[in-house]
Amino acid sequence: MTDPRILPLEGVENFRDYGGYAVGGGRVASGQLFRAAHQARATPADLQIMAALKLATLVDLRRPRERDNDPSLRHEGFAAQVIQCDLGDHAEAPHVAFLRETDLTPESARAFFLDYYDKAPFEPRHLELFGRYFAALAAGDGPVLIHCTAGKDRTGLLAALTHQVLGVHADDARADYLLTNVAARVEQRLPMITEALEKSLGKRPSATAVRAFLGVDASYLDAAFASITSRSGSVEAYLDGIGADAATREAIRDRLIV
């Protein structure tokens, strides 16, 4: 992994800076916006790297059951504001149920993700978490980390919305989303994850299906923004609806564009 945005941690996948992009009037600050998978298997060295980031806010997009299954590890002196949400039931994550209950073909995996991204922007938990995130981003004065379990779907959507607010070009926003396919070490982890799934599920998924669950596809993000536009009228109207109004968005730009 040679992309300078990626922090090559040992036990945390997909950890990277989603700032630094050129925008009208300047550039999004680097070292202020980070995204990642969960930190339950962070090594001592990983925790030292995270401590050096001096995070002010951490947004955990996971469901309560996910947080219970993989509790976050923290470095000594961790003092960041943690934003999380217990809204809704304590059911397992949808992708876990899908893995257990379906045929795990490439076609079913793609259909699952297109449906997931269509609904994800309007999931009540996400509406609350995204709104609180943007409020913290406008009011805060230090680096932010957003993460879910794999750091690719919920996290990818929220990062893309942030890029929209900041005026990042669509091509750069899409490239940042797709960088998961490198940062999450999809090809390297494929055999190990396939074996683990076969052991736990009693059936062997295709490599294409597993690849779909480890990585991302641009059509998924397109589905989310199409859903936002269809249901809200525009991305701006959607943001207004979650409390990230024009004044909040301007405060975010004032803070992060240098």
Residues marked active site are found at: 148
Q: Which residue has the tokens 């981003």?
A: 137
The amino acid present at 154, given as its one-letter code, is R
**Bridge partner list, 26:** 23
**What is the distance between the alpha carbons of residues 34 and 51, in angstroms, rounded to a whole number?**
13
Nearest to 134 by CA among 17, 251, 15, 16: 251
Helix (H) or strand (E) holding 17: strand 16-17
Nearest to 37 by CA among 2, 66, 65, 64: 66
Q: DSSP secondary structure string, 106-173?
A: HHHHHHHHHHHHHHGGG-HHHHHHHHHHHHHHHH--S-EEEE-SSSSSHHHHHHHHHHHHHT--HHHH
Q: DSSP secondary structure string, 43-92?
A: -HHHHHHHHHHT-SEEEE---HHHHHHSPPP--TT---EEE----S--PP
